[in-house]
Amino acid sequence: MSKAFTLIKEQNIPELNCDAKLYEHKRTGARLLSIINEDENKVFSINFRTTPKDSTGVAHILEHSVLGGSEKYPVKEPFVELLKGSLATFVNAFTFPDKTCYPVASQNEKDFYNLIDVYMDAVLHPLITEQTLMQEGWHYEIGDVSEPLTYKGVVFNEMKGAYSSPENLLAKVIQQSLFPKHIYGVDSGGDPANIPDLTYENFRAFWETYYHPSNAFIFFYGNDDPDKRLKLMEGYLKGYKRKKVKSAVPLAKPFTRAKKIEYSYDAGADADDIEKKHYITINWKLPDTSDPVLNFSFHILENALIGTPASPLRKVLMDSGLGEDLAGLGLESDLREMIFSTGLKGTRARNAKKIENLIIETLQNLVRDGIDPEMIAASINTLEFHLREYNTGSFPRGIAVMLSALTTWLHEGDPFSMLTFEAPLNEIKTKLASDSRYFEKMIQTYLLDNIHKTVIRFKPDPELGRRFEEDEQARLKSAREAMTEDHVHKLVENAKQLK
């Protein structure tokens, strides 16, 4: 056992057929979760709690950028090179609203440790130059001094695509509506209107602030030697000292009243029958994710309400003829505080109040008359089957385990609490046996009596795309007017280099 780490907690988790050990690195405070089992598909991930203050997409751009060459691997695309000769079963990275994850997986141990070496060097010693930000984030593109400026960049283009999808945009609007003036109230992926505000100084500072071992959550899973894991990490972390990183995600300030929000999306100029392209959703902020009993109870309740064609809330909405299909997030349980949201899409503006009333009345009727016990039993079975099977398809199982652990671990909670699911499931069944109205009371408390909610009318606007382009052109025009000829010539050269 490595002297560089303190063992904080150790537990056998029969649900995953594994031993789990939680460590803290003495010098830096880096957290390390080591899951030891017989799975040959070994997983490693280094995760950082990243809490952006604006929608410039800095967390997302950085996720792209650190994978673009590092001190030890100074090639343009180490991952493209790596995959040519690697046996990796997974190589990727994800940006969430509050964390950035760098997972890799392989069944071959030598390959696995090689992947870890590339990833650790990427996050701790990236070659993030101004060119990197231009390429991965945004830059002014101009082929010739006589041409107008345009914006280009990998994340800029990606997010422009994401913002043109109403479903993607609605998900962001729902989250932001419930968390104003909060970390979850900005877009960690980047809003195309704000991405060009990101400066190199702020980009670099974000990496310096958050990509430090003191802010890291390191994860191992599989059948490799658990002592070797610690020795390996000791080598990467030994040059660092503990640093105070302010990255905690606060709880949202409770609303004093519910809010109604109207938001327009780009419906495209040639959209037909635009009147029937509205979305109406009701969205509630629920408690935080730290209590597994409550967390799993909400999963059961969501399935009972909207999870199947026979679920009462889904059935009432679909049979109403007021819209084409369900809209909203359903249950979102990846953030520090959960969200439940539902409604209809493909509806008319005049149906907004009807849909809102229909949802509330249906919930009131369910509280009064009760939810069909068979529906509850089926929903418990569905969750139980999902947790026991843990069927992740081609996706390495260890990554699903890690994301589950991070639900609580990221917010200083117990990383084992979502993994040891038998006890909370039994507790839910005990509660239900002693109080058949357990789920009806949840509807009353967390939905009907909850004023931390928003009603969103998401409306199509055939002119929005044109207005956005006009705003963008105006910004580019004023940027161009403020530039010297010398500056413009440099941009032409720069565009050639980036190409």
Residues marked active site are found at: 63, 136
3-state secondary structure of 100: strand
Cβ–Cβ under 8 Å, residues 393 and 38? no
Q: Could you tell me where the DSSP H helices lie in 46-165? A: 58-66, 78-85, 109-124, 130-132, 154-163
Cβ–Cβ under 8 Å, residues 464 and 264? yes
* CA–CA dist 53, 56 (Å, integer): 9
Cβ–Cβ under 8 Å, residues 128 and 66? yes
Q: Which amino acid appears at position 214 of this protein?
A: S
Tokens of 396: 């390495």
Q: Give the bridge partners for 260, in sequence order.
A: 455
Give the pairing of strands 150-152 and 259-266. unpaired
Q: Give the bridge partners for 94, in sequence order.
A: 101
Q: Which of 304, 424, 290, 296 is nearest to 363 (CA)?
A: 304
3-state secondary structure of 232: helix
Query: Which helix H or strand E contains 382, and what residues bound it?
Result: helix 373-389
Query: Which helix H or strand E contains 210, and what residues bound it?
Result: helix 200-210
Give the pairing of strands 453-461 and 259-266. parallel
* CA–CA dist 352, 323 (Å, integer): 10
Tokens of 158: 């990606």
* CA–CA dist 75, 17 (Å, integer): 40
